[in-house]
Chain A
Amino acid sequence: MEPVAGKTHLRWVVLALVATSLAVFAVKVFVLGFPLLPHAQSETWDVEARVSFLARGRPVKARLHILPGSDRYAVIDESFVSRGYGINTASPGGNRQVTWAIRGAQGRQALYYRATVRPAPGNAVHSQPAGPMPQKPEFAGIEAAAARSLIDDARARSADPDTFVSALVQQVTAVPADQRVRVLLGRNPQPGKDLMLAARLLTFAGVPARVAHGVRLTDLERSAPLVDWLQFLHKGRWHYVSSQTGVEQTPRDFLPWWYGDRPFVQVSGANRVETSVAVARGRETALGGATEQGLRLMPKLFGFSLFTLPIETQAVYHVLLLVPVGAFILVLMRNVVGFKTFGTFMPVLIALAFRQTELLWGIVLFSAIVALGLTVRFYLERLKLLLVPRLAAVLIVVVLLMAALSVLSHRLGLPQGLSVALFPMVILTMTIERMSIVWEERGAFEALQEGSGSLAVAALAYLVINQAWLQHLVFVFPELLLLLLAAVLLLGRYTGYRLLELRRFRALARDESR
C-alpha cells in the first residue's frame, strides 16, 4: 500500500485554506469596505502611458503629452511614476506636456503616467475644453500651387463648410493618392500624415482644423492603439470628422490626448524609445477608497494587492484569475457529473476563447473548425504520415482555416468571425487528433459524444466565468480562490457516484428493487 496521508490531514488542510480565505475576505469586506458587487455606474477609466528607453549615462530629457481633459472627459486624478527624475508639467501651445529629466541614468528606464478620467466634466482637476488653436500654415512654391488647386476643387464640389470639409478630406485620403497630394505629403509619407495635411489645408482655406490624437476607452485594452481624428472649428465648436468618409461624426469612447503635429513622445539623450498606452475600466470609487484605506492600515498586506500592478498586468490577471474557476467547473463536470472531455483542460481554454467570440458564435466557429479539421485529418490518414509531421500538418491547416473563416465572415459582414483568431489553435489541433483516433477506434458516436461533451463543459464554464459579479469577486478578492482550492482538494477524495453513473448502472439498481 502506498503511504496515504489520512483523511484528517486533508481535513486540516482544507480547514486552514477555508479559514484563511474567509478571514482575509471578511477583513476586506467589513473593515475596509471593499464592495461585494460591481458598481452599476463604474464609469471611470484608468489610463496609463508607459515610456521606456535605453539610457547611456548621459542627461536624458523625455517629453510626453498628457491628458488635457475635454468637454466630454474630465481628468479627476493623475500621477507620475519615475524614480529619480525631475518632473515638470507645462502647457506649450495649448497641449499639456510632462517633462522628465535626469542628469545621468543607465540601462532600461520606464516612466509611467497614470490618470483617471470620468465622462462629463465635474470637479475636474484640469479642464481645457478648447485646446490649442491651429496656426495658419504657409505653403511655398509648387506646394502652394498644389494646395490652392486642391482647395479650389473641394470648394467647387461643396456648398457649405460641412461639405467642403468632407470633399477636401476625401481628396486627401483617396487611394491611390492624388498627384497634388503626393507633392504635399513628400516622398515617404508616414501613417497619419494625410490627416495632418488635411488639417493644414483646411486651416489654410480659412476653416480652422486640427488633428486630435487619443485613445478609445474600451474594456481592457492591454495596449490601446493611438487613434487620430480630424477636427474643424465651426460656429465656435469643434466638430469631429471621420478620416475614412470625411463626414462629420461624433466618435464614441474617444478620449482626446493632444492636438496638432507634435509627436506623442520626444526623448533626447537616450535611444530605443518604446511607448505604450493601456486603458482599463476603473474600479468604482468605493473600491479605490477601500484600497487606499487598506494601504494605510495594513501596508504589508496591501502592498501586495493586484491593484498596485500596472494596468496592463492587471488586465492579464482579470483573465488569469478566471482560469481556476473554469478548472473547478471542469472538475465538477468530470468527477461529479461524469462528462467525458477531450484533453483535461481543453474546455477551460475554449471557454476563455468564448469570452471574445460570444457563446453562439464561439460554438459555431469551434464546430466549423473542428469539422473541417477532421475532414483534413481523415484525408491525411490516407497519406500515412508519421505522428509529429501529421500533427504539424493539421496545425497548419487549422491556422489557415481560421484565417479563411475570418476573411469569409468579414466578407459576409459578420464581425464575430474575426475573433476566431483567439481560439487556442494548438488545443484545437490536439482535439482534432484525439477525436479522429476515437472516431476510428470507437466509432463516430463516441467521438461526437465526447466532442459535444467537451463543448458543453466549455459552454457551461463560459456562462459561469462570464458573470460580471464573479469576475469582480475573483479580481477584488483573489483569496476566494483558496476556497476553490479547498473544494478541489475535497473533490479529489470524493468517492460517491458520478451522476451519469446512476444512468450507466441503472440495470443494477433495478435488480435490487425487484
Chain B
Amino acid sequence: MRGAWRRLAEAGVLGINRRNADFTLMYNRRDCIALVDDKLVTKALAQARGIAVPELYGAVEIEHDVRRLPRMLAGRNEFVVKPARGSGGDGILVVAGRFRDMYRRVSGALMDQSDLNHHVSNILSGMYSLGGFPDKALIEYRVEFDPVFEAISYQGVPDVRIIVFLGVPVMAMVRLPCRLSDGRANLHQGAIGTGVDMATGRTLTAVWRTEVVAEHPDTGNPVTGVAIPHWPRMLETAAGCFEMTGLGYQGVDLVLDRTRGPMMLEINARPGLNIQIANRAGLLNRLRQVQAVVPELHTVEQRVAFARERFAVRPSGILR
C-alpha cells in the first residue's frame, strides 16, 4: 500500500482531500460558487460576456407554473430539461422528438405530459439539488453535436470538460455517452472519458469504468486520435470563464454544436478527479506549474498559449 501511495504521489495525482483543502477551499470564494451553482445565473453571466450558451427556452420557478409547460414547449420538438442546481448530471431529461401528444426521450422511451410535469415538480421540490433545497427547472436548446462525435457516442451529447486553474486550462477530457450511461456524459454514470492533448486537441487513450479502451463499446469506432474542432476557441472560452466567475479552480463543460460551434454548458466549482484517469496523468504537477508562473500571465491568450506549450503531449506519447 505504501508503494501505491508513493507512486501516486510521484505521478502527481490529486486526491479528493487535497483538492478540497488546497484548491477549492483556497481559491473558490463562496459568493463566486453561488454564481455557478445556479445554472440560470451562470447562463445570464455568460451571455453578458458574449460567451455562447444553449438558448434558454424558459424556466419554471414555482409549482404553480408547471401547468404552463405545454405552452412553453409549444412548437419545440427537441429540448432539454435540467435542474438549475443539479449536480453530477442528475435530473437532466433530454427530449429528442414528439410522437402524437407524447414526448420521446433520446433512449426512445415515450412520456406523456403528466410524466414531464412530474419530473419538473420533482426538480422544483429539490429532489436533485444539493441539500434538497427548492430548485428551478430550466428548459433549453438541445445541442446538435458536431458530426466528429457522431461515430463515437451513443444517444447523448458528448461534452468537453476543461479544468481551469487561475485562468489557465490545465487538463481536458472528452466525455462520450454510451449505452451503459443511458446517454449521459458523466463518468460515474458509465460514460467513456478520453484524455485530450492540450496542444492539439486530439483525443488520447480512453477510459471506460476502470479499463482502458480503444474503441467505443457501442459503435466500435476508434476513440483515440480524434481531433476536436475549434480547439483553440474552446480553450479561450474556458480560460475566459475565470474572469467571468472569479473561481480559481473550476471545471468548464463545453459542447460543440453542429452549426453554432462551441457552447458553454455549465461550470463546476468542485470538478471531479476522474479526468486524471482519462488523461493517465496527475493534476497536481500541472497545478503547481501554474501557481509558479501565473503572475506573469496577463491575458487569456497568454494563458492559453502557456497551457498549449506546457501541457502538450510529447511525440513519444508519454505525458508530462
Which residues of A pack against B, CB within 8 Å?
1-2, 4, 335, 338, 384, 386-388, 437, 441-443, 446, 492-499, 501-502, 504-513
Query: Which B residues between 29 and 86 are near A, CB-CB below 8 angstroms?
Result: 29-30, 63
| Interchain CB contact (< 8 A) of B1 among A495, A498, A502 | A502
| Interchain CB contact (< 8 A) of A1 among B27, B88, B90, B189 | B27
Q: A495-B22, A507-B277 are in contact. Are A502 and B5 (CB under 8 A)?
A: yes
B126 within 8 A of A: yes
Given pairs A387-B127, A388-B125, 17 additional interface contacts (CB within 8 A): A1-B29, A387-B125, A443-B189, A497-B9, A497-B15, A498-B17, A501-B8, A502-B1, A504-B277, A505-B273, A506-B4, A507-B207, A508-B8, A508-B276, A508-B281, A508-B282, A509-B4
Of chain B, the residue at the smallest CB distance from A501 is B15
Bound form: Cα–Cα A497–B20 in Å: 12
Instruction: List 19 interface pairs A-B (beta carbons < 8 Å), by A numbering.
Output: A1-B26, A2-B26, A4-B25, A338-B16, A386-B121, A386-B125, A387-B122, A387-B132, A437-B127, A437-B128, A441-B89, A441-B90, A442-B188, A496-B5, A497-B13, A501-B16, A502-B8, A508-B281, A508-B282
Query: Across the interface, which residues of B come within 8 angstroms of A509, CB to CB?
Result: 4, 7-8, 11, 13
B289 within 8 A of A: no
User: Binary interface profile of B, 100-124, with partner A (CB < 8 Å = 1, else 0)?
Assistant: 0000000000000011001001100
B167 within 8 A of A: no
Query: Across the interface, which residues of A come within 8 angstroms of B128, CB to CB?
Result: 437, 441
* 8 closest residue pairs by CB, A with B: A387-B125, A509-B7, A384-B118, A495-B18, A497-B15, A512-B11, A502-B4, A441-B90
Bound form: Cα–Cα A494–B8 in Å: 16
Query: Across the interface, which residues of A come within 8 angstroms of B282, CB to CB?
Result: 508
Query: Across the interface, which residues of B come within 8 angstroms of A4, CB to CB?
Result: 25-26
Bound form: Cα–Cα A494–B17 in Å: 7
B248 within 8 A of A: yes
Number of interface residues of B (CB under 8 A): 48
Query: Across the interface, which residues of A come within 8 angstroms of B1, CB to CB?
Result: 499, 502
Of chain A, the residue at the smallest CB distance from B20 is A495
Q: Is the CB of A2 within 8 A of B25?
A: yes
Query: Which B residues between 212 and 234 are near A, CB-CB below 8 angstroms?
Result: 212
Q: Is the CB of A446 within 8 A of B11?
A: no
B292 within 8 A of A: no
Bound form: Cα–Cα A511–B277 in Å: 10
Q: Is the CB of A437 within 8 A of B21?
A: no
B243 within 8 A of A: no
Query: Across the interface, which residues of B come within 8 angstroms of A387, CB to CB?
Result: 121-122, 125-127, 132
Query: Across the interface, which residues of A come within 8 angstroms of B177, CB to CB?
Result: none
Query: Across the interface, which residues of B come within 8 angstroms of A446, CB to CB?
Result: 188
Q: A442-B189, A508-B276, A511-B11 are in contact. Are A384 and B114 (CB under 8 A)?
A: yes
Bound form: Cα–Cα A512–B13 in Å: 11
Of chain B, the residue at the smallest CB distance from A338 is B16
Of chain B, the residue at the smallest CB distance from A430 is B132
Bound form: Cα–Cα A431–B281 in Å: 36
Bound form: Cα–Cα A335–B19 in Å: 12
Of chain A, the residue at the smallest CB distance from B63 is A386
B91 within 8 A of A: yes
Of chain A, the residue at the smallest CB distance from B30 is A2
B299 within 8 A of A: no
Query: Across the interface, which residues of B come within 8 angstroms of A335, CB to CB?
Result: 17
Query: Across the interface, which residues of B come within 8 angstroms of A2, CB to CB?
Result: 25-26, 29-30
Q: Is the CB of B15 within 8 A of A496?
A: yes
| Interchain CB contact (< 8 A) of A507 among B29, B126, B280 | B280
Of chain A, the residue at the smallest CB distance from B22 is A495
Bound form: Cα–Cα A442–B18 in Å: 26
Query: Across the interface, which residues of B come within 8 angstroms of A499, CB to CB?
Result: 1
Q: Specify which of A388, A442, A446 lies most central, judged by the most chain B CB atoms within 10 Å of its CB.
A: A442
Q: A495-B18, A498-B17 are in contact. Are A512 and B26 (CB under 8 A)?
A: no
Query: Across the interface, which residues of A come within 8 angstroms of B121, CB to CB?
Result: 384, 386-387
Of chain A, the residue at the smallest CB distance from B210 is A507
Q: Is the CB of A497 within 8 A of B118?
A: no
Nearest CB in chain A: distance from B206 CB, A: 12
Query: Which B residues between 231 and 260 are near A, CB-CB below 8 angstroms?
Result: 248
Bound form: Cα–Cα A506–B21 in Å: 22
Q: Is the CB of A505 within 8 A of B17?
A: no
Query: Across the interface, which residues of A come within 8 angstroms of B150, CB to CB?
Result: none
Q: A4-B26, A335-B17, A505-B276 are in contact. Are A512 and B4 (CB under 8 A)?
A: no
Query: Across the interface, which residues of A come within 8 angstroms of B280, CB to CB?
Result: 507-508, 511
Q: Is the CB of B11 within 8 A of A495?
A: no
B10 within 8 A of A: yes
Query: Across the interface, which residues of B come within 8 angstroms of A506, CB to CB?
Result: 4
Bound form: Cα–Cα A480–B121 in Å: 49
Of chain B, the residue at the smallest CB distance from A388 is B125
Query: Which B residues between 122 and 156 are near A, CB-CB below 8 angstroms?
Result: 122, 125-128, 132
Nearest CB in chain A: distance from B211 CB, A: 9
Nearest CB in chain A: distance from B95 CB, A: 18
Query: Across the interface, which residues of A come within 8 angstroms of B16, CB to CB?
Result: 338, 498, 501
Bound form: Cα–Cα A354–B212 in Å: 43
Query: Across the interface, which residues of B come within 8 angstroms of A1, CB to CB?
Result: 26-27, 29, 248
Nearest CB in chain A: distance from B105 CB, A: 14
Bound form: Cα–Cα A434–B7 in Å: 36
Nearest CB in chain A: distance from B41 CB, A: 20
Bound form: Cα–Cα A504–B14 in Å: 12
Q: Is the CB of A505 within 8 A of B277?
A: yes
| Interchain CB contact (< 8 A) of B277 among A386, A498, A508, A512 | A508
Q: A1-B27, A386-B121, A437-B127 are in contact. Are A513 and B7 (CB under 8 A)?
A: yes
Q: Is the CB of A495 within 8 A of B29?
A: no
Nearest CB in chain A: distance from B307 CB, A: 21
Q: Is the CB of B118 within 8 A of A508?
A: no
Query: Across the interface, which residues of A come within 8 angstroms of B115, CB to CB?
Result: 384
Query: Across the interface, which residues of A come within 8 angstroms of B207, CB to CB?
Result: 507
Q: Specify which of B29, B91, B118 lies most central, judged by the most chain A CB atoms within 10 Å of its CB.
A: B118
Bound form: Cα–Cα A106–B132 in Å: 50
Query: Which B residues between 274 and 312 are near A, CB-CB below 8 angstroms?
Result: 276-277, 280-282
Nearest CB in chain B: distance from A502 CB, A: 4
Nearest CB in chain B: distance from A9 CB, A: 15
Of chain A, the residue at the smallest CB distance from B23 is A495
Q: A386-B63, A386-B121, A507-B207 are in contact. Are A512 and B21 (CB under 8 A)?
A: no
Query: Across the interface, which residues of B come within 8 angstroms of A502, CB to CB?
Result: 1, 4-5, 8
Nearest CB in chain A: distance from B102 CB, A: 16
Query: Across the interface, which residues of A come within 8 angstroms of B11, CB to CB?
Result: 508-509, 511-512
Bound form: Cα–Cα A163–B17 in Å: 73
Nearest CB in chain B: distance from A449 CB, A: 11
Query: Across the interface, which residues of A come within 8 angstroms of B188, CB to CB?
Result: 442, 446
Of chain B, the residue at the smallest CB distance from A497 is B15
Bound form: Cα–Cα A497–B276 in Å: 14
| Interchain CB contact (< 8 A) of B17 among A437, A497, A512 | A497
Query: Across the interface, which residues of A come within 8 angstroms of B210, CB to CB?
Result: 507
Bound form: Cα–Cα A507–B274 in Å: 11
Q: Is the CB of A494 within 8 A of B127?
A: no
Nearest CB in chain B: distance from A460 CB, A: 19
Bound form: Cα–Cα A509–B282 in Å: 10
Bound form: Cα–Cα A453–B25 in Å: 26
Bound form: Cα–Cα A389–B4 in Å: 49
Q: Specify which of A335, A441, A442, A496 lies most central, judged by the most chain B CB atoms within 10 Å of its CB.
A: A441
